């Protein structure tokens, strides 16, 4: 994909599972939600794998080890090995290993996923700022992470020890609602020290580099549900992306997306990997058509006319909104048009 401004979802005459050699799949909101498989996910992934596509699961969650994640996916009916899972803990451990000596001590503020990743890179996890660490690394530690761990990080960072973070997602979904993520914990240390960490996770390049190094992908497709992590990460890595609407992104957010948040393809769920993608074509006077729908821009709102598959209408609306917005975010009201599509 080029870094030019995307003004419409792309078409594909081939099934995406045939056009790309590797799917780099986000987990929560794409494969599962609340620990349970999302509808159509298991059978869609099985079909893509049987067709020859490699499946890799890419997560910003640094708490769980690849073995644990693979075990969970396998229990859901998606056979997965630890080598198929790439975490932000692995990405940040590589980043640290490139800046400190082999065997260096690293103060860990987080869970087992970070410790395993550091040991894999020949680094030694420690628990105290008084253990003479060469670096501090912070990753999601779960709801039971003691408050005192943030103090340990702050003591070391204030002394000038290099500070790293697996990711800075401010929130994470849980079975009970939205909870604070690692980004919220990073803010605690930032407030205490005034320092800035080096960050590895999506949407930043270290995470994309880690996925390519571990999968050997030549033509990867990023599959995600979040514009500001999955899709922006694909944009930063200059690879194509598929947004699925089974997670956090809704219609208004998609229409308002600035260039770095605009996916190559849009589909309802992971079944979108198994087929091609329809053409979105110009329809004159600033309008665009996809399937049975034609979208245009009125004075202050997006307008939609036609009938057929709702997703075709959404794709046409994206083309009008993104064209109108250019390099910014669309400010035209799309409420009535989206309501007509049930979105």
Give the active site residues: 26, 28
The residues facing 108 across adjacent strands are 137
Distance CA 234, CA 237 (A): 5
Please give the Cα distance from 242 to 227 (Å, whole number): 10
CB 29 within 8 A of CB 266: no
Q: Which DSSP letter does residue 45 get?
A: H
3-state secondary structure of 339: helix
Q: What is the DSSP string of 145-196?
A: --THHHHHHHHHHHTT--EEES---SEEEETTEEEE-HHHHHHHHHHHH---
Q: What is the 3-state secondary structure (H, E, C) of 24-71?
A: EECCECCCEECCEECCCHHHHHHHHHHCCCEEEEEECCCCCCHHHHHH
| Nearest partner of 42 among 75, 10, 17, judged by Cα | 75
Tokens of 311: 């997703």
DSSP-derived 3-state class of residue 92: helix
Give the list of residues 6+ apart from residue 175 with CB closer than 8 angstroms, or none.
34, 35
Q: No. of H helices and E strands in the chain? A: 12, 19
What span, in angstroms and rounded, lies between the C-alpha atoms of 265 and 25? 14
């Amino acid at each position: 994909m080029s870094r030019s401004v995307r003004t419409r979802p792309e078409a594909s005459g081939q099934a995406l599972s045939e056009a790309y050699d590797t799917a780099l799949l986000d987990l929560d909101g794409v494969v599962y939600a609340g620990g349970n498989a999302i509808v159509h996910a298991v059978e869609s992934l099985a079909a893509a794998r049987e067709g020859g596509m490699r499946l890799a699961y890419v997560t910003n969650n640094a708490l769980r080890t690849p073995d644990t994640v693979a075990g969970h996916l396998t229990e859901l009916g998606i056979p997965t090995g630890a080598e198929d899972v790439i975490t932000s803990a692995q990405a940040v451990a590589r980043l640290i290993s490139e800046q400190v000596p082999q065997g260096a001590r690293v103060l860990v503020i987080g869970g087992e996923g970070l410790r395993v990743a550091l040991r894999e890179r020949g680094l030694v996890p420690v628990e105290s700022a008084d253990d003479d660490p060469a670096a501090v690394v912070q990753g999601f530690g779960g709801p039971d992470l003691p408050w005192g761990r943030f103090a340990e990080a702050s003591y070391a960072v204030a002394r000038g020890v290099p500070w790293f973070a697996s990711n800075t997602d401010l929130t994470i979904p849980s079975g009970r609602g939205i909870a604070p993520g690692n980004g919220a914990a990073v803010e605690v240390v930032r407030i205490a020290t005034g320092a800035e960490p080096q960050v590895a996770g999506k949407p930043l390049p270290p995470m994309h580099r880690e996925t390519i190094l571990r999968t050997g992908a030549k033509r990867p497709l990023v599959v995600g549900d979040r514009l500001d992590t999955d899709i922006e990460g694909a944009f930063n890595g200059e690879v194509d992306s598929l947004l699925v609407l089974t997670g956090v992104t809704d219609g208004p957010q998609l229409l308002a997306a600035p260039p770095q948040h605009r996916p190559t393809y849009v589909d309802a769920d992971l079944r979108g990997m198994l087929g091609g993608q329809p053409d979105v074509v110009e329809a004159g006077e600033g309008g665009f058509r996809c399937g049975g729908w034609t979208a245009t821009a009125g004075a202050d709102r997006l307008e939609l006319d036609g009938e057929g598959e709702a997703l075709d209408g959404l794709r046409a609306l994206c083309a009008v909104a993104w064209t109108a917005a250019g390099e910014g975010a669309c400010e035209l009201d799309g409420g009535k048009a989206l309501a007509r599509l049930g979105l």
